[in-house]
């Protein structure tokens, strides 16, 4: 088998998740290539070396450009704060290397457009980390919709809320900077928008409202100095899908009690499907003529599940979804897979998010084709 060199940039929560996923993919799947954890980069050289040793990477770099230039690296995985996605991905694409980038793709539509064009010109495989779509239960939901088991789809109601910014005393971070992040819509809502497009299809037009609830936060933990906040804390939007369905999406990082509440209900003329990421191994299904909802439980009959457990009810978790995402990426790199969100599809998500921001700012319905 040919060798595929992996280069990972970033050592935070997502960097660790990627490292686990690459290691797990080698352990649980028969891959068509030999994965080599070639290099890891972090701005903190000591941390880079420490994490490279702990996670099994052969080389550590204190400069991400050195990793991109490393001839042993074939795939560049980017897990840095959002504003760094653009320069890192563009450098990797210019070097002719495949790119696996965390979401959102970029901090503005112009960057996202340049990235998808550069990827197309480079002719390399790209993927963006919308890992929730790799849940076997989401694949099952897509199959049921495509088979017409819900009839004609008429509505999508979705929410992705957490509470990690609910405390107004939570300090400023890069997530609060317009040029570095983009608020709850970018951080959480992008997952929901990608999910809506994956399950129901293209969105034609939107109307929306966004709000910054906590307009100032401590500059640092415990500081009396306050910094102004301009990014959205919550967003609510109405959607008109190209297929005629209607929808609502909402996202907040202020909603007390929710930790990973990516949820949706999809209704058709013959039934309804419901899902909540906090119970990620279940779907709730109602068909016309039933008495109440039926609970569908994940099990080894679903593609991907059996690689981790031979029995239903034992359940997959976040890191297993990331491993399934990496498996699909590796198959695509080997010319044996086409699933997953590439830079072109991720640009469509960014375009939709931009339309929502325009609609909220101008207080009107906005066609996605306008932006």
pLDDT greater at residue 210 or residue 338: 210
Asked whether residue 32 is domain-assigned, the answer is yes
Asked whether residue 176 is domain-assigned, the answer is yes
- Summarize the confidence of residues 322-349 as an average pLDDT: 95
CATH number, residue 106:
3.40.50.720
pLDDT of residue 96: 98
Instruction: Report angle CA 352, 358, 359 to the nearest 5 degrees.
Output: 90
pLDDT digit string (tens) for 139-171?
Answer: 999 999 999 999 999 999 999 999 999 999 999
pLDDT of residue 242: 98
In DSSP terms, 76 is beta-bridged to: 7, 99
pLDDT of residue 121: 98
Q: What is the largest CA-CA distance in the chain?
A: 62
User: 63 and 102: one domain?
Assistant: yes
Does position 322 have pLDDT exceeding 90, yes or no?
Answer: yes
Give the closest residue to 302 by CA, choosing from 318, 288, 323, 316. 316
pLDDT of residue 143: 97
Which residues span the domain enclosing 156?
135-308+342-370
Asked whether residue 330 is domain-assigned, the answer is no
Token pair recorded at residue 371:
């932006």
Q: What are phi and psi of 271, to 5 degrees?
A: 170, 180
What's the number of domains the chain is made of? 2
Domain end, chosen from 98, 131, 164, is at 131
CB atoms within 10 A of CB 304: 21
**CA dist 58 → 16, 54, 55, 66, 88 (Å):** 16, 10, 9, 14, 21
Pairing of strands 126-128, 98-101: parallel
Domain end, chosen from 92, 107, 131, is at 131
Confidence of residue 11 (pLDDT cuts 50, 70, 90): very high
**CA dist 59 → 9, 18, 68 (Å):** 12, 16, 12
pLDDT digit string (tens) for 243-296?
Answer: 999 999 999 999 999 999 999 999 999 999 999 999 999 999 999 999 999 999
Domain end, chosen from 113, 131, 149, is at 131
Pairing of strands 261-268, 153-161: antiparallel
Give the closest residue to 212 by CA, choosing from 244, 259, 172, 262. 172
Asked whether residue 186 is domain-assigned, the answer is yes
pLDDT of residue 305: 97
Calculate the average pLDDT of the chain: 97
**What crossing angle do the helices spanning 109-122 and 343-362 adopt, rounded to 10°?**
160
**Rounded Cα–Cα distance for residues 109 and 114 (Å):** 9
Concatenate the DSSP letters of all residues of 203-259 into one string. EEEEEEEEE-S--EEESSTT-S-EEE--S-SEEEEEEEETTS-EEEEEEES--TT-S
258, 162 Cβ separation under 8 angstroms: yes
User: 193 and 119: one domain?
Assistant: no
3-state secondary structure of 287: strand
Confidence of residue 180 (pLDDT cuts 50, 70, 90): confident
User: 15 and 103: one domain?
Assistant: yes
Asked whether residue 322 is domain-assigned, the answer is no
User: 124 and 197: one domain?
Assistant: no
User: 103 and 162: one domain?
Assistant: no
How many residues does the structure list for the chain? 371
Q: What are phi and psi of 194, to 5 degrees?
A: -65, -40
User: 191 and 151: one domain?
Assistant: yes
User: 122 and 182: one domain?
Assistant: no
pTM of the model: 0.96
In DSSP terms, 192 is beta-bridged to: none
pLDDT of residue 337: 78
User: Which DSSP category does 186 fall into?
Assistant: I
Rg (CA), the chain: 21
**Rounded Cα–Cα distance for residues 174 and 36 (Å):** 32
Asked whether residue 317 is domain-assigned, the answer is no
Q: What are phi and psi of 146, to 5 degrees?
A: -65, -30
pLDDT of residue 217: 96
DSSP H or E segment with residue 210: strand 203-211
Asked whether residue 69 is domain-assigned, the answer is yes
Confidence of residue 181 (pLDDT cuts 50, 70, 90): confident
């Amino acid at each position: 088998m040919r060798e595929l060199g992996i280069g990972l940039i970033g050592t935070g929560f997502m960097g660790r998740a990627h490292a686990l996923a690459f290691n797990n993919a080698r352990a649980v799947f028969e891959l068509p290539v030999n994965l080599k954890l070639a290099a890891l980069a972090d701005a903190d050289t000591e941390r880079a070396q420490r994490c490279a040793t702990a996670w099994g990477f052969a080389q550590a770099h204190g400069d991400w450009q050195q990793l991109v230039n490393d001839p042993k690296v074939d795939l560049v995985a980017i897990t840095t704060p959002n504003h760094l996605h653009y320069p890192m991905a563009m450098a990797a694409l210019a070097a002719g290397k495949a790119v696996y980038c965390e979401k959102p793709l970029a901090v503005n539509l112009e960057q996202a457009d340049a990235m998808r064009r550069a990827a197309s010109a480079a002719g390399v495989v790209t993927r963006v980390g919308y890992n929730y779509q790799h849940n076997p239960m989401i694949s099952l939901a897509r199959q049921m919709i495509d088979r017409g088991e819900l009839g004609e789809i008429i509505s999508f109601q979705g929410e992705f809320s957490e509470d990690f910014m609910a405390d107004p005393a939570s300090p400023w971070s890069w997530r609060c900077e317009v040029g570095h992040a983009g608020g709850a819509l970018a951080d959480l809502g992008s997952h929901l928008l990608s999910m809506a497009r994956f399950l129901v299809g293209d969105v034609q037009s939107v109307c929306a409202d966004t709000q910054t609830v906590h307009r100032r936060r401590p500059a640092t933990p415990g500081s009396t100095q306050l910094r102004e906040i301009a990014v959205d804390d919550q967003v609510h939007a109405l959607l008109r899908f190209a297929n005629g369905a209607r929808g609502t999406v909402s996202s907040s990082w202020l909603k007390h009690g929710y930790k990973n509440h990516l949820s949706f209900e999809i209704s058709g003329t013959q039934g309804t499907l419901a899902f909540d990421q906090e119970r990620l191994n279940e779907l709730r299904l109602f068909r016309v003529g039933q008495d109440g909802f039926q609970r569908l439980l994940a099990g080894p009959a679903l593609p991907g599940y059996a690689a981790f457990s031979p029995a239903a009810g034992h359940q997959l978790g976040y890191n297993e979804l990331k491993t399934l995402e990496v498996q699909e990426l590796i198959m695509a790199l080997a010319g044996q897979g086409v699933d997953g969100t590439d830079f072109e599809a991720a640009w469509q998500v960014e375009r939709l998010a931009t339309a929502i921001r325009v609609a909220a700012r101008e207080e009107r319905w906005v066609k996605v084709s306008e932006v």
